[in-house]
Structure 1
Amino acid sequence: MKSSPSSHVDHLGSLIRPKLLFDQRVLLEQGKCSRGDLTPIEDAAVAHVVRLQRSLGLATITDGEMRREIFYEGVFDKLDGVTCRLRPMSEFMNYWPHIQAFSAMGLTELTSCFCSGKIRRNKPIMTEEFETLKRLVPRKEVGRLKITMCPPTWFHTLHGTHLTYDKSVYDSDEEYFADVGTVYRAEFKALYALGCRNIQLDEPTFTSFCNDEVLRNIQTAGINPDSLLDLYIHAINLCTRDRPRDLNVAIHLCRGNFAGGLPFTSGSYENIAKKLFLNLDVDTFYLEYDDERSGSFLPLRFVPPTKKVVLGIVTTKHAELENPDFLKARIVEAVQILVNGAPPRAPEVALAQLSISPQCGFASSWKGNPVTEQDVRAKIGLLHQVALDVWGASEQVAQMARL
């Protein structure tokens, strides 16, 4: 059945905090209020951004990450066996560009997690957030709700094999990730039982494997980057294993979206495309393609016809709007790559695989990018305009892709 153009307009999840919540967060940082003082303001902010997303006609609806300080909160800090504390920068893997950037900023320590006991899920992780979302939408829209989560790899990427977990607790990465996978599968199952059909893992380190300088730095540290990437693909596959067929698990491959939209790495997906698209057991890939840092669409030739791809062709890093004709031409280019991929496919099939979105969230950390809510509306409006011209005229676009 032919899909509507609006169903091909998506977003990554995080949204600009409303002023009242932003101002309260400032007070929290200044020690002028308690964490509990934020709760009613966060509740109101979630309700506001749900109304916003519904009015914008987005394919998925999130809580905007209104309750988080930064994107990766809310998973590992809720698990048994995990201790959160300030850790010196010497305990972070300095081959990653974001760790190098934090050190260059003069930071000497960061709050992070350490696995001090067997990892167990003895309380829900994201189910309360999902139930809140359910109460804010009509029943027929529950299928649009999406939960965004820290990836299972996150703290291991930060600290490596020797500093992620107590060696008296786990003998190896395989043992550690086996328990992490059990936790994620249990949470996926609980979310699914409540009606959740969309889960997104935000992964900011896979794109560093696209950067040749980072690969050299990993090798200098005595680590095989190919083996490390394989380990992280395996870790995610443990989490997604045996999921229901109608549970859409997505991965967002982020290139950095720190305070003010600061990016951290660049490089074509070519380095990781074959392993990523063929070996990673997810249903949808959110890819960043908002500027020249991302390279060409050529790596998409490895995407199987069964996978969905969301092209992040509009930036969240500034308010300036992209040229709609340029965006439409880019979509046609991506369709042509898929048509000639392995295996080849009809242009109509390729076009159905694709959606478009901003390249990242508008506020991966609570202070957000230098855009306003009105800018967010304009960016999503632009995507809808482009989607109507592309998917609303799919036969003509398919013909263009054949040329």
Structure 2
Amino acid sequence: MTTTTRTIPFKADHVGSLLRPERLHKARKQFNRREIKAVDLRKVENEEIKRVVDRQIEIGLDVVTDGEFRRTWFHLDFMEHFNGIEGYVPKKGYQFADGVETERYDVRNTGKITFNSKHPFLKDFKELNEIVDGRAVAKQTIPSPNQFFNAGIQNEDIYPDIEDFAQDVIKAYQEAIQAFYDAGVRYLQLDDVYIAGLSAPDIPFNDGKYTREYLIDLALRVVNGSLENKPEDLYVTTHLCRGNYRSTWAFSGGYDIIAPTLLANEKVDGFFLEYDDERSGGFEPLKHIPKDGPKVVLGLVTSKSGELEDRDEVFRRVHEASAYVPLAQLCLSPQCGFASTHHGNELTEEEQWNKLKYVVELSKELWG
């Protein structure tokens, strides 16, 4: 029986990406070396996606994803298929904690930005939905439109005014959201590292060109503008991420700076918020979430290691958060995906499934 979409996000939810199995890694390497054809890689992807869909349902999740198995990065694969955007290899990767530099790949603006009506993610979702076959709700995850505002993407020769850049990103996302809806998506998640970065006090945004306050306001306008014409029965959530690469992180900071603007006014059905360690700050910013407004999915279970969290500590923290958001408005999930890039975090696949099963078990104890 199909699970109702009215409960989105679910009491036990998850961010989306899953560890890539070795079989998939091998097939992709063979494809890149031209040892197998695209149809052969697709066959392996489909078989592995079916396997993890079945496993998600087996452990009791009402929401499933394809694990982002067709992607290399959570964001770049989606972004580079927009018109006016291309992928390239920069001189440096993203900088993470402890001197970790990511694999070198990024996107840049090469022309007027519009949505590509033949975007490959549309076909990907249709195939996922066929695999799910009504047994659960299939979630589509895509990068937030704000990911286009990361440093180095906007080409000021094409878009000298950031507001003009923003308007084209908004229009492209309006078309993308409608296209996903037409493809059958009813649960859409926007993954937003950029917004979380605006909350990091150690990132110097005030460089003399734009203040942090202006960029926070612009980020809100970009998301809300993108959602302005969305169908009423399409449920949208935002996941705020501080970086997730091989179990490392990019920056720290609570939600205090962005909460009065973004948490209070972003027109989504839920927020996935990272709360797996002290870098996330406290729960007080949740007071800005409107009562009976967006649900708050507490990321209290880390995806960065395989050790299960203490049950009583999770319960204590959920009840602590309920001082600011009613318990009925709260949900539970891992703080991020298990493989925001194809490399994956430092835990085993079985530990991953134990984490997700644990989220299901804890949510049943908390909410029945």
TM-score, normalization: structure 1?
0.82
Deviation beyond 4 Å, 4+ runs, structure 1: 26-29, 102-107
Shift of 1:54: 1.2
Question: What SS does structure 2 have at the residue aligned with 1:270?
Answer: coil
Q: Which amino acid aligns with 2:348?
A: T
Within the candidate set 234, 243, 249, 1:263 is matched to: 249
Q: Is the counterpart of residue 199 in structure 1 residue 202 in structure 2?
A: no
Question: What SS does structure 1 have at the residue aligned with 2:55?
Answer: helix
Q: Would the alpha carbon gap of residues 186 and 32 (structure 1) be closer, same or farther in structure 2, given more than 3 Å must change? A: closer
Structure 2 equivalent of residue 343 of structure 1: none
Q: Would the alpha carbon gap of residues 193 and 172 (structure 1) be closer, same or farther in structure 2, given more than 3 Å must change? A: same
Shift of 1:26: 4.6
Question: What SS does structure 1 have at the residue aligned with 2:346?
Answer: coil
Structure 1 segments unaligned to the other structure (5+ residues) = 90-97, 339-349, 393-403
Q: Is the counterpart of residue 59 in structure 1 residue 62 in structure 2?
A: yes
Using the alignment, how far apart are the partners of 1:179 and 1:66 within structure 2?
29
Q: Is the counterpart of residue 286 in structure 1 residue 272 in structure 2?
A: yes
Using the alignment, how far apart are the partners of 2:253 and 2:358 within structure 1?
26
Question: What SS does structure 1 have at the residue aligned with 2:43?
Answer: helix
Higher mean displacement: 182-191 or 132-141: 132-141
Q: Would the alpha carbon gap of residues 177 and 28 (structure 1) be closer, same or farther in structure 2, given more than 3 Å must change? A: same
Structure 2 equivalent of residue 218 of structure 1: 205
Within the candidate set 112, 115, 119, 2:106 is matched to: 112
Answer yes or no: is the 8 Å Cα contact 2:195–2:240 preserved in 1: yes
Using the alignment, how far apart are the partners of 2:282 and 2:62 within structure 1?
25
- Aligned-residue CA RMSD (Å): 2.6
Structure 1 equivalent of residue 123 of structure 2: 128
Structure showing the higher helix proportion among its residues: 1
Within the candidate set 146, 151, 155, 2:139 is matched to: 146
Residue-by-residue CA offset, 1:254-308 (whole Å, 9 max, x unaligned): 01111x2111111211111111112222221000001111111111111012211
Q: Is the counterpart of residue 296 in structure 1 residue 286 in structure 2?
A: no
Answer yes or no: is the 8 Å Cα contact 2:253–2:280 preserved in 1: yes
Residue-by-residue CA offset, 1:21-53 (whole Å, 9 max, x unaligned): 123345567x46467253221121111111111
Within the candidate set 298, 319, 324, 2:306 is matched to: 319
Using the alignment, how far apart are the partners of 2:208 and 2:58 within structure 1?
49
Residue-by-residue CA offset, 1:344-401 (whole Å, 9 max, x unaligned): xxxxxx2221110000001111121112221122112222221122112xxxxxxxxx
Q: Which amino acid aligns with 1:225?
A: R
Answer yes or no: is the 8 Å Cα contact 2:187–2:236 preserved in 1: yes
Q: Would the alpha carbon gap of residues 373 and 105 (structure 1) be closer, same or farther in structure 2, given more than 3 Å must change? A: closer
Q: Which has the larger radius of gyration?
A: 1
Q: Is the counterpart of residue 165 in structure 1 residue 132 in structure 2?
A: no
Structure 2 equivalent of residue 330 of structure 1: 317
Shift of 1:155: 3.3
Using the alignment, how far apart are the partners of 1:210 and 1:176 within structure 2?
22
Residue-by-residue CA offset, 1:303-351 (whole Å, 9 max, x unaligned): 012211110000011111111111111111111222xxxxxxxxxxx22
Pairing of 1:3-402 with structure 2 (within 5 A): 7-27=10-30, 31=33, 33=35, 36=38, 37-89=40-92, 99-101=94-96, 104=99, 110-125=104-119, 126-139=121-134, 141=136, 144-159=137-152, 164-167=154-157, 169-214=158-203, 217-220=204-207, 222-258=209-245, 260-304=246-290, 305-338=292-325, 350-392=326-368
Shift of 1:224: 1.0
Answer yes or no: is the 8 Å Cα contact 2:144–2:190 preserved in 1: yes
How many residue pairs end up in the alignment? 360
Q: Which amino acid aligns with 1:136?
A: I
Q: Which amino acid aligns with 2:110?
A: S
Q: Which amino acid aligns with 1:354?
A: L
Identity among equivalent positions (%) equals 34
Answer yes or no: is the 8 Å Cα contact 1:124–1:187 preserved in 2: no
Shift of 1:122: 3.7
Using the alignment, how far apart are the partners of 1:102 and 1:110 within structure 2?
16
Using the alignment, how far apart are the partners of 1:103 and 1:227 within structure 2?
30
Q: Which amino acid aligns with 2:233?
A: D
Answer yes or no: is the 8 Å Cα contact 2:149–2:194 preserved in 1: no
Answer yes or no: is the 8 Å Cα contact 1:78–1:123 preserved in 2: no
Shift of 1:18: 1.7
Question: What SS does structure 1 have at the residue aligned with 2:324?
Answer: helix
Answer yes or no: is the 8 Å Cα contact 1:116–1:166 preserved in 2: no
Residue-by-residue CA offset, 1:122-159 (whole Å, 9 max, x unaligned): 42332211110111123363xx1111102212232132
Using the alignment, how far apart are the partners of 2:148 and 2:11 within structure 1?
33
Answer yes or no: is the 8 Å Cα contact 2:94–2:101 preserved in 1: no
Shift of 1:178: 1.4
Q: Which amino acid aligns with 2:298?
A: L
Question: What SS does structure 1 have at the residue aligned with 2:74?
Answer: coil
Answer yes or no: is the 8 Å Cα contact 1:255–1:264 preserved in 2: yes
Shift of 1:106: 6.8
Using the alignment, how far apart are the partners of 2:97 and 2:348 within structure 1?
26
Shift of 1:180: 1.6
